Amino acid sequence: MRRSAASTVLVAVLLVAGCGAGQPRDPTSIAPTEPPAVDLAPARPPTVAPAPTGTPGSFSPTDVAWLQLTVAMAERLLPVLELVPARTTDPAWRRLAAQVEATERADLDRARRLLAVAGAPTTNPHEGHDMPGMVTAEQVTALRASTGSPFHRLLAGHLRAHLAQAARIAGAEQHAGAHPATTAMAGAVVRDGNAALARLDRLDRPTSAAPPANAPAR
């Protein structure tokens, strides 16, 4: 029952809800799954999943759909992360962007290799689709026009949306997928995504969380 429910969620996200060409969608309307828990562990290098193994027949349609969306999402985020060195001099934001970029590039390479093993088409079935967690062309334009704190605010919003959505669908693939190396990669995406979200939350603390100026010292 658990695998069936997760499979239904993932199919809804990947094959139905996400594929309205060019139409942004609200991530909260896709599936009734809980958001990934925030991992408060310190920064760590990207988790290394097992190398691609198996035969094309051992991949399920869910595995292939998740890998294709992982590629599409990474390809949208990487150009955003490449903007960071030129848009901010803040070392903490630069460090976070570099860490996320390294993980995204590793995931992109791993997903492409798994798709090759699966014998899946090399074309991107999500080309031109503005899906949950993806940065749109208009948003990239706004990022390019900003620097400093305004850039940080925009970047934080896009990073949070991407990482949360990526962890969400990876969690569904973990439970619904069939190919061992693919589900292992999904587990790594969940762990790395939650760790990056925790680092982002520490860096991008809401100003409303600060105590009032006249609050008594503790």
Calpha distance 89→37 (Å, rounded)? 30
Query: Of 204, 201, 174, which is closest to residue 189 (Cα–Cα)?
Result: 174
Instruction: Kindly tell me if the per-residue pLDDT of 92 is higher than 50.
Output: yes
Report yes or no: 168 and 35 within 8 Å, Cβ to Cβ. Answer: yes
- Over residues 104-128, mean pLDDT: 86
End-to-end CA separation in angstroms for the chain:
50
CATH of domain 73-120+133-204: 1.20.1260
Instruction: Kindly tell me if the per-residue pLDDT of 35 is higher than 70.
Output: no
Tell me the C-alpha to C-alpha distance, in Å, between residue 104 and each of 24, 100, 114: 22, 6, 15
Report yes or no: 11 and 3 within 8 Å, Cβ to Cβ. Answer: no
Q: What is the pLDDT of residues 138-175, one digit of tens each?
A: 999 999 999 999 999 999 999 999 999 999 999 999 99
- Which stretch, 110-124, 128-142, 153-167, has highest mean pLDDT? 153-167
- Over residues 19-48, mean pLDDT: 38
DSSP H helical ranges for the chain: 2-11, 61-87, 91-118, 137-144, 148-176, 180-203
Instruction: Kindly tell me if the per-residue pLDDT of 82 is higher than 50.
Output: yes
Domain boundaries, the chain: 73-120+133-204
3-state secondary structure of 104: helix
